[in-house]
Amino acid sequence: MNLEEEVKQGGKAKELLNNPLFEDSFNGIREGLIQQIESCPLKDDDLRNQLMISLQLLKQIKRQLIESIETGELAKFQLNKVE
């Protein structure tokens, strides 16, 4: 991916991460998972593990978006430096 594409992708990731609907949905899913983990019976290891994996994947999605934003900002800096 070239620098211009990285800047565009970073901008789209920032728009998505700052979108109130995305933020509400993301937080709702996160809270739902946490509530399910808290209410999960202690002897149900499989369910608890599945819920924890889901929570970890949710965190990875957010991390990926943040990484795209940072990459786009760095690409923008590099483009401005070249000009």
Residues 23-77 have pLDDT tens digits of 999 999 999 999 999 999 999 999 999 999 999 999 999 999 999 999 999 999 9
Cα gap 58→8, rounded to integer Å: 23
Quick one: three-class SS letters along the chain? CCHHHHHHHHHHHHHHHHCHHHHHHHHHHHHHHHHHHHHCCCCCHHHHHHHHHHHHHHHHHHHHHHHHHHHHHHHHHHHHHHC
The whole-angstrom separation of Cα 13 and Cα 74 is 14
pLDDT score at 63: 97
Average pLDDT over residues 10-34: 97
Range of the domain at 63: 3-82
Say what the pTM is: 0.86
* Domain count of the fold of the chain: 1
